[in-house]
């Protein structure tokens, strides 16, 4: 039989492809596996197309007719022996691209975001915000750089109408972090503020904040002498839980306050204040990049064991003195600030700032937190009849 071709008139609203005598559709997918066209036979001219509501492309089983609805124009082509080989080659090409092709505008389902994270609009990436406590962030494969901002916690205050004083402010550090090749999980530790104390007529000291804040010292007498407030904890990102040496990034905490003499706690990187600088005892000193801050020293003519503040150390602020009046705790950090001597404030801790980073002090009253932003590859948008995954 000679080759023949038949075309449905333009504008006919009937679609080709519903089940007719001796045939069945193989798939309703835009891209399908095609049967060999060598099985083709000439369809009965009495077969009538039946209306179909959804656009589809498929081959009738055993008919060798490729049907495709594009808009309202249907062009089923009857394939004779002379056209089988070119058509079969076209079918193989369709199968090859079918695995990668998706419907226009369709997007593959995105993996669930980690806890505490949100997808930003456009190509701005994923932002994760963490508050006080210990957290983990499992990064998608291929992420080697993140943007991070960390805020350390403030030292504790003296809440006393007669002698109110403020704890030192925590540090704020912002940087792009280049991650070690093995780092797929980040451990995010956000410190808490040092605990306040009410000053006079209170022998209960303030505890240091989590992640390294030093404890305030208590009064060891039975009179109305005051206790010191606690130092603020640091906020850091590390690659191994519990390992201070794996920290990539540290925003230090501020030192605690006392109700008299030295008064206000030292800001991150600064000593406790000295309202009476010519007198001893003295305030705690700040942590440095290589060592903890020195503890405040008492008057050598009147000193007794325990009346000096404790020095800071790796990751921890020193405790305030325990004497006839307590000293305040030092702030946590890369290295902690020293604790204050008798009635003296604690020093702030030191921060770890990457080469590209920026170090500043947090605004007073700002809650400690860490924000991490990372960017993943954005899927290619679909603008044609076939979309290929990126």
Q: What are phi and psi of 378, to 5 degrees?
A: -85, 130
Overall residue count recorded for the chain in this entry: 390
Distances from the Cα of 154 to the Cα of 109, 157, 252, 301, 351, angstroms: 42, 9, 9, 33, 14
For residue 305, give both structure tokens. 């064991």
pLDDT above 70 (res 350): yes
pTM of the model: 0.69
Domain closes at, from 38, 72, 103 = 103
> Can you say whether residue 347 is alpha, beta or left, with left for phi > 0 and alpha for psi between -120 and 50 degrees?
beta
CA-nearest of 151, 112, 111, 155 to 130 is: 151
Q: What is the pLDDT of residue 225?
A: 76
Q: Are 136 and 90 in a shared domain?
A: no
Domain closes at, from 103, 129, 150 = 103
Tell how far CA 99 is from the center of its chain.
34
Report the alpha-carbon angle 22-27-31, nearest 5. 130
Tell me: the pLDDT tens digits for 302-339? 667 778 999 999 999 999 998 888 899 999 999 999 99
Q: Where are the beta strands (DSSP E) in 275-390?
A: 358-361, 369-374, 387-388
Q: Of residues 368 and 18, which shows the higher confidence score?
A: 368
Q: Are 56 and 120 in a shared domain?
A: no
Give the position of tokens 């226009």: 104
Q: What is the pLDDT of residue 12?
A: 46
The b/e string for 82-112 (b: 16+ C-beta within 10 A; e otherwise) is ebbeebbeebeebeeebeebbeeeeeeeeee
Give the confidence band of 356 by pLDDT, cuts at 50, 70, 90: confident
Q: Of residues 71 and 368, which shows the higher confidence score?
A: 368
Give the confidence band of 109 by pLDDT, cuts at 50, 70, 90: low
Q: Are 96 and 134 in a shared domain?
A: no
Q: What is the pLDDT of residue 201?
A: 63
What average pLDDT does this structure show over 368-389?
Answer: 64
Domain closes at, from 42, 68, 103 = 103
Q: What is the pLDDT of residue 181?
A: 85
Do 155 and 254 touch, CB atoms closer than 8 A?
A: yes
DSSP 107: -
User: Terminus-to-terminus CA distance in the chain, angstroms?
Assistant: 47
Q: What is the pLDDT of residue 372?
A: 97
Q: Are 243 and 129 in a shared domain?
A: yes
Q: Are 89 and 125 in a shared domain?
A: no
Q: What is the pLDDT of residue 219?
A: 83
* Percent of the chain predicted with pLDDT > 70: 64
Tell me: the pLDDT tens digits for 260-289? 767 899 999 999 987 665 556 789 999 999
Q: Are 228 and 192 in a shared domain?
A: yes
Q: Are 194 and 283 in a shared domain?
A: yes
Give the confidence band of 163 by pLDDT, cuts at 50, 70, 90: confident
Tell me: the pLDDT tens digits for 129-161? 999 999 999 998 889 999 999 999 999 999 876
Q: Are 162 and 89 in a shared domain?
A: no
Containing domain of residue 62, as a range? 1-103
Q: What is the residue-averaged pLDDT of the chain?
A: 76
Tell me: the pLDDT tens digits for 32-85? 443 444 444 445 544 445 454 444 443 344 444 444 443 443 444 444 444 445
CA-nearest of 322, 170, 321 to 232 is: 170
Do 230 and 319 touch, CB atoms closer than 8 A?
A: no
Q: Are 208 and 282 in a shared domain?
A: yes
Give the confidence band of 221 by pLDDT, cuts at 50, 70, 90: confident
Q: Are 154 and 56 in a shared domain?
A: no
Q: Are 319 and 183 in a shared domain?
A: yes
Give the position of tokens 């005598």: 21
Q: What is the pLDDT of residue 307?
A: 85
Distances from the Cα of 6 to the Cα of 11, 45, 138, angstroms: 15, 10, 59
Distance from C-alpha of 346 to C-alpha of 156, rounded to nearest angstrom: 10
Do 61 and 24 touch, CB atoms closer than 8 A?
A: yes
Tell me: the pLDDT tens digits for 338-348? 999 988 999 99
For residue 389, give both structure tokens. 């995954």
Distance from C-alpha of 310 to C-alpha of 65, rounded to nearest angstrom: 89
For residue 245, give both structure tokens. 């040496």
The number of distinct structural domains making up the chain is: 2
Q: What is the pLDDT of residue 218?
A: 87
């Amino acid at each position: 039989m000679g080759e023949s071709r038949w075309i449905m008139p333009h504008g006919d609203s009937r679609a080709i492809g519903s089940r007719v005598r001796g045939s069945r559709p193989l798939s309703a997918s835009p891209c399908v596996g095609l049967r060999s066209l060598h099985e083709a036979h000439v369809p009965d001219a009495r077969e009538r197309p039946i209306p179909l509501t959804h656009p589809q492309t498929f081959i009738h089983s055993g008919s060798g007719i490729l049907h495709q609805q594009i808009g309202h124009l249907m062009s089923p082509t009857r394939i004779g022996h002379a056209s089988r080989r070119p058509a079969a080659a076209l079918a193989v090409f369709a199968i090859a691209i079918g695995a990668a092709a998706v419907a226009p505008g369709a997007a593959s389902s995105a993996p669930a975001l980690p806890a505490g994270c949100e997808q930003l609009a456009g190509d701005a990436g994923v932002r994760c915000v963490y508050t006080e406590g210990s957290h983990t962030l499992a990064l998608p494969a291929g992420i080697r750089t993140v943007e991070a901002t960390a805020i350390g916690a403030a030292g504790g205050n003296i809440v006393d109408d007669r002698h109110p004083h403020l704890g030192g402010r925590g540090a704020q550090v912002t940087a792009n972090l280049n991650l070690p090749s093995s780092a797929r999980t980040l451990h995010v530790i956000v410190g808490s503020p040092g605990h306040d104390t009410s000053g006079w007529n209170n022998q209960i000291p303030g505890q240091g904040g989590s992640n390294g804040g030093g404890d305030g010292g208590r009064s060891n007498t039975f009179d109305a002498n005051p206790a010191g407030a606690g130092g603020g904890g640091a906020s850091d990102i590390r690659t191994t839980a519990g390992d201070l040496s794996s920290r990539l990034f540290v925003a230090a905490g501020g030192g605690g306050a006392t109700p008299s003499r030295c008064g206000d706690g030292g800001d991150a990187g600064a000593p406790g204040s000295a309202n009476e600088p010519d007198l001893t005892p003295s305030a705690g000193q700040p942590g440095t990049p290589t060592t903890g801050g020195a503890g405040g020293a008492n008057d050598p003519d009147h000193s007794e064991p325990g009346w000096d503040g404790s020095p800071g150390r790796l990751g921890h602020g020193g405790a305030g003195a325990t004497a006839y009046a307590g000293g305040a705790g030092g702030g946590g950090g890369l290295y902690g600030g020293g604790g204050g001597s008798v009635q003296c404030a604690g020093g702030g801790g030191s921060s770890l700032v990457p080469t590209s980073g920026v170090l500043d002090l947090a605004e007073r009253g700002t809650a400690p937190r860490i924000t991490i932003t990372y960017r993943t590859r954005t899927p290619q948008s679909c603008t044609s009849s076939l979309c290929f995954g990126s």
